[in-house]
Amino acid sequence: MAYSETTVIAGGLAHIPIVIGLFRVIENFVLQRTDSQGSSGSSTIPTSEPEKTQVSTPTKLPSKKQAHQNVPVNTYKPKAPFEGKVLENYSLLKEDAIGRVNHITFDLSGGNPQLKYVEGQSIGIIPAGEDAKGKPHKIRLYSIASTRHGDNMQGKTVSLCVRQLQYEKDGQTIDGVCSTYLCDIAKGEKVKITGPVGKEMLLPDDEEANVIMLATGTGIAPMRAYLRKMFEPQERKKNNWNFRGKAWLFMGAPKTANLLYDEDFENYKSKFPENFRYTKAISREQQNAKGGRMYIQDRVLENSEELFALIENPKTYIYLCGLKGMEPGIDEAMTTAAAAKGINWSELRLKLKKAKRWNVETY
Ligand code: FAD
Ligand code: A2P
């Protein structure tokens, strides 16, 4: 199967309905085919045949602004935030899990204008109180874990998945300001919310897109929204968007008890076995081939044949979210996997990024 710049770019544009008529035949044909056997393998998700047709590219790529014209941003700014009431706040962890991770839902009703958002965006939270200098606390960003319809499908709530930051300093346990504020907050309290922000992690419109998700910890938040949109029956009905592609989630957690939204994902897997694959890396319970902690990049390497077969398809989009520290590991795994096929990962990643098929939000 061939990797070409044209294929990659056309894949990124497949969901943008403005390409008709403005095409010209591409002049530079870049990456050459290096492995004729690449995509064979025993995938439980059958991969679609990559498009092999000669594709042309538009004279001018649409700007980011044009591509996401209808995505709301900064409806509420730090100087005049929206005050959302806490509707629920509960732990997502099982017994013996490490740390604290909560699912928190805010009521957005009564806003003028109404705070609306789409899957893959974030909101800002301004914690109550003041910092050590007596100034209001700064905003912290959180990825939205609900779809635009909210968990109750009424379109007027937003949910977050928040891990309490805790670390040791000089023999003392330090609690993160905003994450502790959120994990402790009681139902009924009001919270200052800004945003929404972010256009990096938006899903393609294409119902036949393939979506590879690489998440560690709370990096699952946007993926939960994508998966709800794809597989929750009420969402499918309301969206009139019937996902038919392949979704593949790689989830990293320290212990089984720390897996977030695991039952929901297992349920999607049993209901949509042809469309959803769920691969877990439980770092403190499983070992990688070298005997170290099992991280998602180890799972990427184990599945590199199938992953690269999917990536060859221009309808495939990749999303990374969670710990910043996972980026070098993922890059290394992709470099190794790509090299086995004679592909230069840095070059390919750049092309995928340009085509909005490689999307990263780490913190
Ligand atoms: P703070 O009180 O602000 O403390 C953080 C500071 O503590 C750091 O800046 C650093 O100086 C220090 N610190 C941290 N760790 C250590 C350490 N080990 N040793 C010494 N010093 C240390 N978080 C989530 O839980 N869920 C999400 O979905 C989520 N989404 C995000 C999306 C985006 C786009 C971004 C940018 C961030 C996201 N975050 C998310 C992280 C979130 O914004 C906060 O950074 C996090 O909750 C910590 O904030 P805090 O106020 O609790 O910590
Ligand atoms: P570990 O903490 O065992 O080293 P959480 O946010 O719930 O702690 O989950 C984050 C997950 O990501 C954990 O399993 C953690 O493993 C793992 N992790 C930590 N560092 C990296 C890294 N550099 N690359 C990939 N995964 C990582």
Tens of pLDDT, residues 35-91: 232 222 223 333 333 333 222 333 344 454 555 778 999 999 999 999 999 999 999
Provide the CATH number for the domain formed by 82-197 in this structure. Answer: 2.40.30.10
Whether residue 219 is predicted with pLDDT greater than 50 in this model: the reply is yes
* 102 strand-pairing partners: 91, 162
Looking at residue 113, what is its pLDDT? Answer: 97
Looking at ligand 2, which atom is closest to the CA of residue 297? 25
Where do the domains of the chain lie? 15-34+47-69+199-362, 82-197
Looking at residue 42, what is its pLDDT? Answer: 29
Whether residue 353 is predicted with pLDDT greater than 80 in this model: the reply is yes
Among the bound ligands, the one closest to the CA of 179:
1
Q: 103-121 as b/e, with b when 16 or more CB fall inside 10 Å? A: bbbbbbeebeeebbbbbbb
Distance between alpha carbon 58 and the CA centroid of its chain, in Å?
28
Residue with tokens 């962890």, as numbered in its chain: 93
* d(CA 108, ligand 2 centre) in Å: 32
90 catalytic per annotation: no
The SS3 of residue 236 is helix
Looking at residue 10, what is its pLDDT? Answer: 52
361 catalytic per annotation: yes
Looking at ligand 2, which atom is closest to the CA of residue 260? 7
Cα–Cα distance list, 191 to 66, 142, 165, 259, 319 (Å):
33, 13, 19, 27, 29
Helices 345-354 and 5-13 sit at what angle, rounded to 10 degrees?
Answer: 30
Beta-carbon contacts of 80 under 8 Å, excluding residues fewer than 6 positions away, are none
Probe residue for ligand 2, chosen from 320, 323, 360 as the CB with the greatest number of ligand atoms within 8 Å: 323
Residue with tokens 């004279």, as numbered in its chain: 59
Determine the Cα–Cα distance for residues 111 and 117; give it in Å rounded to an integer.
Answer: 13
- Angle at the Cα of 25 (from 24 to 29), degrees rounded to 5? 140
Determine the Cα–Cα distance for residues 215 and 80; give it in Å rounded to an integer.
Answer: 33
Residue with tokens 């590219």, as numbered in its chain: 57
Confidence of residue 204 (pLDDT cuts 50, 70, 90): very high
Please say whether the beta carbons of 82 and 158 come within 8 A. Answer: no
363 catalytic per annotation: yes
Predicted confidence (pLDDT) per residue in 117-162, tens digit? 999 999 999 999 999 999 999 999 999 999 999 999 999 999 999 9
Q: Whose CA is nearest to atom 30 of ligand 1?
A: 142
The SS3 of residue 156 is coil
The amino acid present at 191, given as its one-letter code, is V
Looking at residue 66, what is its pLDDT? Answer: 56
Predicted confidence (pLDDT) per residue in 235-275, tens digit? 999 998 999 999 999 999 999 999 999 999 999 999 999 99
Q: Which two tokens stand for residue 9?
A: 């770019």
Percentage helix, strand, coil for the chain under 3-state DSSP, each rounded to 5: 25, 25, 50
Confidence of residue 14 (pLDDT cuts 50, 70, 90): low
Mean pLDDT, the chain, integer = 86
Q: Whose CA is nearest to atom 22 of ligand 2?
A: 326
- In this structure, whether the domain defined by 15-34+47-69+199-362 belongs to CATH 3.40.50.80 is answered with yes
Determine the Cα–Cα distance for residues 164 and 195; give it in Å rounded to an integer.
Answer: 21
Determine the Cα–Cα distance for residues 207 and 213; give it in Å rounded to an integer.
Answer: 16
Whether residue 297 is predicted with pLDDT greater than 50 in this model: the reply is yes
Whether residue 27 is predicted with pLDDT greater than 60 in this model: the reply is no
Looking at residue 28, what is its pLDDT? Answer: 38
Confidence of residue 197 (pLDDT cuts 50, 70, 90): very high
Active-site residue, selected from the candidate residues 3, 76, 117, 142 = 142
Looking at residue 30, what is its pLDDT? Answer: 33
Looking at residue 70, what is its pLDDT? Answer: 85
Please say whether the beta carbons of 201 and 143 come within 8 A. Answer: yes
Distance between alpha carbon 324 and the CA centroid of its chain, in Å?
14
Confidence of residue 16 (pLDDT cuts 50, 70, 90): low
Among the bound ligands, the one closest to the CA of 293:
2
Determine the Cα–Cα distance for residues 299 and 250; give it in Å rounded to an integer.
Answer: 8
Whether residue 32 is predicted with pLDDT greater than 60 in this model: the reply is no
Looking at residue 189, what is its pLDDT? Answer: 98
303 ligand 2 Cβ < 6 A: no
Q: Whose CA is nearest to atom 26 of ligand 1?
A: 162
261 catalytic per annotation: no
Determine the Cα–Cα distance for residues 194 and 79; give it in Å rounded to an integer.
Answer: 9
Among the bound ligands, the one closest to the CA of 141:
1
Distance between alpha carbon 310 and the CA centroid of its chain, in Å?
17
Minimal CA–CA distance to 40: which of 315, 312, 335?
A: 312
Looking at residue 13, what is its pLDDT? Answer: 52
Looking at residue 65, what is its pLDDT? Answer: 53
Segment 167-175 shows an average pLDDT of: 97
Looking at residue 68, what is its pLDDT? Answer: 72
Q: Considering the chain, what percentage of its residues have pLDDT values greater than 70? A: 82
Instruction: List all residues whose CB is within 6 A of at least one atom of ligand 1.
Output: 122, 140-143, 161-163, 165, 167, 169, 176-180, 218, 221, 361, 363
226 catalytic per annotation: no
Determine the Cα–Cα distance for residues 49 and 308; give it in Å rounded to an integer.
Answer: 12
* d(CA 165, ligand 1 centre) in Å: 6
Looking at residue 216, what is its pLDDT? Answer: 98
* d(CA 150, ligand 1 centre) in Å: 24
